[in-house]
Structure 1
Amino acid sequence: MTNIPHVVDGDWLQQRLGDPNLRLIDATTFLKIPEGAGFPELWSGFEAYQEEHIPGAAYADLLKDFTDPNGTAPFTIATRAQFLAAVEPLGITQDTYVVIYDRGPLVNVDILASDWSARLRWQLKYEGFDNVAVLDGGFRKWKLENRPTESGISRYEAAAFPGERREALIVTKEDVKAALQDDNIILINSLSEADFRGETTTYPRPGHIPGSKHAFFGSHSDPETRLLYDDETLRATFDKLGALDPSKKVITYCGGGIAATWNALLLNKLGQENVAVYDGSLNEWASDESCPLVTLR
């Protein structure tokens, strides 16, 4: 199966469970934002996966295996060698297609997005693999619909990963500095309104990168259905930011390069392919006093 949708629903996935070409991946990672000051708490979702997951799903540990332990932030993207070592057990080949899901962005706030899935999807795309989708509504919606689950551990036969890196899909701090002077680049802050305004203390310094537009990653789904709004609604959100202009390049960022990938996924879904993620995001930017920030308090 080729050219699968960017986002699929439960019906689509359930009809394909057991397909030998499907690589179904649980990317659950847990993050808790402290009520006061302090760095968010992060831990692996592997135990939760073992307790219950969608039938046939393998587990991808984003925190342990898909990041660079020598990086400057908890989710610095893995080196190519690290990525290959982590992805090969998932059995992804040119003949397979991938669907990724998770249990949601935070354990203490019910935000409707699958940004952990989007992060892995972006990494696969960055490393050269396109035939990948994210499950709309994630594991929570799957459970609400009383769909099947199982416990234990599922594995695929290991395989050499196809594809080459696409450096255009990632930007560095220096690239973002240069973008501040480039009218053809649109910066999108993917965090909450409070974060954008500089009213929180989650990151080393408050505020947003000058000139940034704002699109909270958790605002794109219907709270009643727990599914993404239709493309017309999503298009209106990003169009007003100028982010769907094919002549522009879009850079998404957040706190640590996770939520930013959800906005990047939706932009791709709407046809904007010229999208890059600032992997270091505010964890890196706000740690450097020479990097400007704007507050609206």
Structure 2
Amino acid sequence: MSAHNELITAAELADILDQPNLRLFDCTTYLEPAPEGSSQPYLTVPGRHTFEAGHIPGADFLDLQGEFSDPDTELRFMMPDVAQLEQAFGRHGVSNESRLVLYSIGTPMWATRFWWMLKSLGFENASVLDGGLDKWKLEGRPLETGPARGYPPATFTAKPRGGFFVDKHATLAASSERNTVVVNALGPQFHKGLEPSRYGRPGRIPGSCNVSAATLLDPKTKVFVPLAEAEAKFSAQGFTKDKRVVAYCGGGISATIDLFLLYRLGYDNLTLYDGSMGEWAKDASLPIETD
């Protein structure tokens, strides 16, 4: 298997569990309904409880909101500065020589978010487990319970690359550029503005198309749809490899499923609007479109 294979199956992972340079991480977060009157769209609950109830043997747990997001913004899950990430990954035993495998429960979006962040830091040797813990369990593979044993601390040095994240100003400009596709990964009812949004004003970024992240997964096994099927969905929305893509969702998480598949399909001009609708829907100076 090549070092730059972004996707790994449960069977392939089972074969490398004893490799000393493997760093295996459960990245799960849960979004719980926010209490009445809360200014936040949802409560973020780290998946430590489900990790301790059962994880792939040897895995460690990564708390996205706790250690790997910007603490100085109202918005959830925003990309923090490079020094914070170097220290956090280093604490969890990641060095530049590590082989990372990332997984989550119920949806791969937490794993693809970490994969995207690592790519932006110049780290290439990270894979997402196809189907996550759901598929691992479906295949009857062994589980371990209890707190993470963790990995010995290491030194991780980032080689940051630009263009992986854009702000609302760049996204607004992109929405009227002929050579750019802006894609919304939320469900069609939210894209059309037919249902109230937990982020603020209902609707979408003007001119954006919709390839819902949920349609890129098998609902039962949580594996990614075959690449040909994904390609057909993107092509139907006018994607071509010579265009730039700006992806967004609610909080910059599920859009990384779209980006992960586009990357695997050979698209190389990809970026994430990190603030997504969590920022856009609340900012009355930004235009919004509904059906």
Aligned with 1:239 (options 235, 241, 258): 235
Q: 1:130 and 2:130 equivalent?
A: no
Is the Cα contact below 8 Å between 2:184 and 2:208 reproduced in 1? yes
Aligned to 2:144: 150
Give the Cα separation in 2 of the matches to 1:276 and 1:134. 19
Aligned to 2:11: 11
Aligned to 1:110: none
**1:274-293 aligned within 5 A:** 274-293=269-288
Report the secondary structure of 2:183's partner residue: strand
Q: Deviations over 1:179-208 (max 9, x none)?
A: 122111110000011110112221111000
Aligned to 2:208: 212
Is the Cα contact below 8 Å between 1:194 and 1:200 reproduced in 2? no
**1:81-120 aligned within 5 A:** 81-104=83-106, 113-120=107-114
Letter of the structure 1 residue corresponding to residue 118 of structure 2: L
Query: Which aligned runs of 4 or more in structure 1 are off by greater than 4 angstroms?
Result: 33-38
Give the Cα separation in 2 of the matches to 1:223 and 1:46. 23
Aligned to 2:192: 197
Q: What is the percentage of aligned positions where both structures have the same residue?
A: 37
Q: With structure 2 as the length reference, what TM-score do the two structures score? A: 0.93
Q: Deviations over 1:144-200 (max 9, x none)?
A: 211111023121121111331112111011101111221111100000111101122
Stretches of structure 2 lacking an aligned partner (at least 5 in a row): none
Is the Cα contact below 8 Å between 1:169 and 1:276 reproduced in 2? yes
Report the secondary structure of 1:163's partner residue: coil
Aligned with 2:63 (options 47, 58, 61): 61
Report the secondary structure of 1:64's partner residue: helix
Aligned with 2:166 (options 167, 171, 176): 171
Is the Cα contact below 8 Å between 1:2 and 1:131 reproduced in 2? no
Give the Cα separation in 2 of the matches to 1:35 and 1:45. 19
The alpha-carbon distance between structure 1 residues 37 and 207, as it changes in their structure 2 partners (threshold 3 A), is: farther
Is the Cα contact below 8 Å between 2:168 and 2:273 reproduced in 1? yes
Aligned to 1:79: 81
Letter of the structure 2 residue corresponding to residue 101 of structure 1: Y
Stretches of structure 1 lacking an aligned partner (at least 5 in a row): 105-112
The alpha-carbon distance between structure 1 residues 224 and 255, as it changes in their structure 2 partners (threshold 3 A), is: closer
Q: Deviations over 1:103-160 (max 9, x none)?
A: 12xxxxxxxx310111111111111101111111111121121111102312112111
Report the secondary structure of 2:16's partner residue: coil
Give the Cα separation in 2 of the matches to 1:37 and 1:294. 26
Give the deviation of 1:227 after TM superposition: 2.0
Q: With structure 1 as the length reference, what TM-score do the two structures score? A: 0.91
Q: Deviations over 1:8-30 (max 9, x none)?
A: 11111111111112111110111
Give the Cα separation in 2 of the matches to 1:65 and 1:122. 16
Cα RMSD (Å): 1.9
Q: 1:268 and 2:268 equivalent?
A: no
Report the secondary structure of 1:15's partner residue: helix
